[in-house]
Structure 1
Amino acid sequence: MDIGTKLKSLRTQNGLTQQELADRAELTKGFISQVERNLTSPSISTLADILQCLGSSLQEFFTDDTPEQIVFREEDYFLKDDPELGHQIEWLVPNAQKNQMEPIRMTLAPRGRSCIESPHVGEEMGYVLEGNILLTLGKKTYRVQKGETFYFPANQEHWLEAGKWGATILWISSPPNF
């Protein structure tokens, strides 16, 4: 089996660049490139991590006929911490890159913020589960509190910031952008 070619195919099917996959898997772009060109082989645990980021598993990767997963549980979620910005992202549907939308649960530390998202085609929707946030959309800032929803076309730079108590947000991007 040509692991590198199959990984590259899976990555491109999910609409990810090598850098995006590397960021999600906490690896380097160079390593992903070497794996895809079969210049190096990942360990089983590293391959499992890469596949999880691509919404797959070792079993699915090495099996040609796998049924589609409908229900996702906590053990299926992919988690990424960014202590520098003060946020944690949980991809609630690990294979969402190949879907029409991508839901995440973002937890912002007190005064933490999301990455600044560049303008892109699509829409963003979020629901504040805990705390309150400031949503910056272009040159305007909006306060969104627990139990409130935001929704906008993603054609302007945008990001979220938490108040002094932190916040948890269900955030959905269409098409997938996280």
Structure 2
Amino acid sequence: MNMQDEIEGLAILVRDLRKHRGLTLDELASRINRSVGFVSQVERGLSRPTVADLTAISETLNVPTTYFYNVSKPRAVDWVTRPDERRTLYYAAGITDVLVSPKLNGGFSMLDSHLAPGASSGEGHLTDSAEQGGFVLEGELTLWLDGAEQAVTLGPNDSFQLPPHSHFRYANLSAQATRVLWVYR
């Protein structure tokens, strides 16, 4: 799949799940503090949500964020993924997440997150019901954890672990690309 196919796949998943949950565009927009126009554009594949937007959508629609990776690609071995078999989400604000886990119904999921220079998860703090952690492969990742006195910047080979329902945000404040292996449980 190419980038536009991936964006359209996400649009269909958001729209269909919203309708299945019996919410109007206005109700979803209100619950995630975004405009109806923005949600409509996401559902038509015209706008990409930020990480914060998609996390808010998943929490509002009562599914894990990994639900939106649920478009299957053919694989030769069901417990292995190769680069051309992976599902990718292209977010606004310079973040691309590649689902590297072979299955979504296991005890955890793994993402290869790519953050362009200046990329961020969005203005507001994220809150996710999943426990999650990460390992910085390249570049720098700055994390803001609600209640922490200051941001923490991690470099290559640094890792972090956040409990479920943490309020946090993250960004690449450096001039080089960042890659993080992100794990959700």
Give 1 or 2: higher strand fraction: 1
- Seq. identity, %: 16
Q: How does 1:1-178 map to 2 (within 5 A)?
A: 25-28=9-12, 29-30=14-15, 53-54=69-70, 56-57=72-73, 69-82=78-91, 84-93=92-101, 95-96=103-104, 98-115=105-122, 118-140=126-148, 141-164=151-174, 165-174=176-185
Distance in 2 (CA, whole Å) between partners of 1:101 and 1:117 is 22
C-alpha separation in 2, matches of 1:143 and 1:118: 17
The answer to whether the 8 A contact 1:85-1:113 is kept is yes
Supply the distance in 2 between the matched residues of 1:34 and 1:153 (Cα, whole angstroms).
31
Unaligned runs of 5+ in 1: 1-21, 36-51, 61-66
Given that 1:86 and 1:113 are in contact with CA atoms closer than 8 Å, whether structure 2 keeps it comes out as: yes
Distance 1:33 1:74, change over 3 A: same
Alignment RMSD (CA, Å): 3.3
Within 2, Cα distance between the matches of 1:123 and 1:24?
A: 28
Structure 1 letter corresponding to 2:86: Y
Shift of 1:91: 0.7
Residue aligned with 1:26, SS? helix
Larger radius of gyration: 1
In 1: Cα distance, 2:132 partner to 2:8 partner: 20
SS at match of 2:133: strand
CA distance in 1: counterparts of 2:128 and 2:101, whole angstroms: 21
Shift of 1:129: 0.4
The 1:57/1:147 distance shift into structure 2, 3 A limit, reads: closer
Q: Provide the rounded CA distance (Å) in 2 between the counterparts of 1:56 and 1:80.
A: 13
Are 1:122 and 1:153, in contact at CA under 8 Å, matched by a contact in 2?
A: yes
Aligned partner letter, 1:54: N
Matches of 2:8 and 2:126 in 1, distance apart?
18
Contact 1:53 / 1:95 at 8 angstroms: preserved in 2?
no
C-alpha separation between the residues in 1 aligned to 2:119 and 2:77? 36
CA apart distance, 1:32: 6.3
TM-score normalised according to structure 2 size: 0.57
**What TM-score do the two structures reach when normalised by structure 1?**
0.59
SS at match of 2:117: coil
Deviation at 1:27, TM superposition (A): 2.1
